[in-house]
Amino acid sequence: MGKKFTNPYISEMDNYKDIIITEKISNHPVKPFPDTQPLKSIIDIGCGSGNFLRKYAQNNPDFSFYGFELRFKRLVKGAIKFKKRDISNIRLIRDRAENIRDWIKEKSIDEIYVNFPDPWAKKKRQLKHRLVTREYLTELFKLLKPTGHFIFKTDHPIYFQWTMDRLNIHDHFKVIEYSDDLHQSEYDKANIPTEFEQLFKGKGFPVYYIRSIVQP
Ligand SMILES: C[S@@+](CC[C@H](N)C(=O)[O-])C[C@H]1O[C@@H](n2cnc3c(N)ncnc32)[C@H](O)[C@@H]1O
């Protein structure tokens, strides 16, 4: 009989309990941190191994950062990097991004990023798996402060247009910046590249970008 494979990163997550949150202690949203009111609160959905969070948090120690990610290895890799650099203002939540409202308090977030989500584009029937839907945007709207931003980046032109269309018809979002070639645009200066972004940039592919703001 073949040996059963156990992902070694599952048990390794225990070494980073101060960073990686795996279960809700009670039925309440994740405890805000640091204890003092953060200047801003930021979410990265599908954060991978956390390079974007790390770079953003390093320059903003007064902000609180939350990353949602499913993959154990990426979570552990992220936590290792944060520890190594003494970054203490990031929490990684191991749960499906679809459950975000279980974790985060309403109207408490300044910026929500969806960076390079899986495009689910191989077959038409996969489209139902795309994270950005009208309903999901409504859930994110409920978490954002009245001055909040939703930011989306992708290498996938069709997902870019799909998200643009959904934002444009949504009553509670207004697109304020966009580019079909972020790195050649005026918005590149303020941009923080993610892991996947660097891969695509290296291959010479354009990156598509949208920034929207909440409207009542
Ligand atoms: C293409 S990668 C992009 C990673 C990172 N944002 C970047 O730009 O480098 C997409 C990430 O989203 C995660 N992911 C996919 N579906 C998810 C879901 N439903 N909830 C949370 N994370 C998810 C994947 O595990 C993967 O790490």
Q: Where are the domains of the chain?
A: 22-214
Q: Look at residue 5 in the predicted model and tell me its pLDDT.
A: 78
Q: Is the CB of 74 under 6 A from ligand 1?
A: yes
Mutate-to-test residue for ligand 1 from 55, 70, 77, 192, highest number of ligand atoms within 8 A of CB: 70
The DSSP line for the chain is -PPPP--HHHHHGGGGTTTEE-S-SSSSPPPPSSSSPPS-EEEEET-TTSHHHHHHHHT-TTSEEEEEE--HHHHHHHHHHHHHTT--SEEEEES-GGGGGGTS-TT-EEEEEEES-----SSGGGGGG-S--HHHHHHHHHHEEEEEEEEEEES-HHHHHHHHHHHHT-TTEEEEEEESSGGGSGGGGG----HHHHHHHHTT---EEEEEEE--
The finding on whether 115 has its CB within 6 A of some atom of ligand 1 is yes
Which one of the listed residues 18, 62, 118, 165 is annotated catalytic?
118
pLDDT of residue 30: 63
> What is residue 167's predicted lDDT score, i.e. its pLDDT?
98
Which protein residue has the closest C-alpha to ligand 1 atom 16? 46
pLDDT score of 151: 98
**pLDDT at residue 2, rounded to an integer:** 63
Which ligand 1 atom sits nearest the alpha carbon of residue 46?
A: 12
Cα separation, 173 vs 151, whole angstroms:
11
pLDDT at residue number 6: 86
C-alpha 196 to ligand 1 mean position (Å): 10
CATH number of the domain at 22-214, please?
3.40.50.150
Cα distance between residue 100 and residue 131, in whole Å: 12
Rounded CA-CA distance 140/61 in Å is 24
Q: Quote the pLDDT of residue 28.
A: 52
Burial classification of residue 73, based on how many CB atoms lie within 10 Å of its CB (0-12 exposed, 13-18 middle, 19 or more buried): middle
Which pLDDT does position 120 carry in this prediction? 73
Residue 1 CA to ligand 1 centre (angstroms): 34
In this prediction, the residues of the chain whose per-residue pLDDT falls under 50 are none
Question: 118 an active-site residue?
Answer: yes
CA distance 6 to 36: 40
Q: pLDDT, tens digit, for every residue of 102-155?
A: 889 899 999 999 999 998 777 777 777 899 999 999 999 999 999 999 999 999
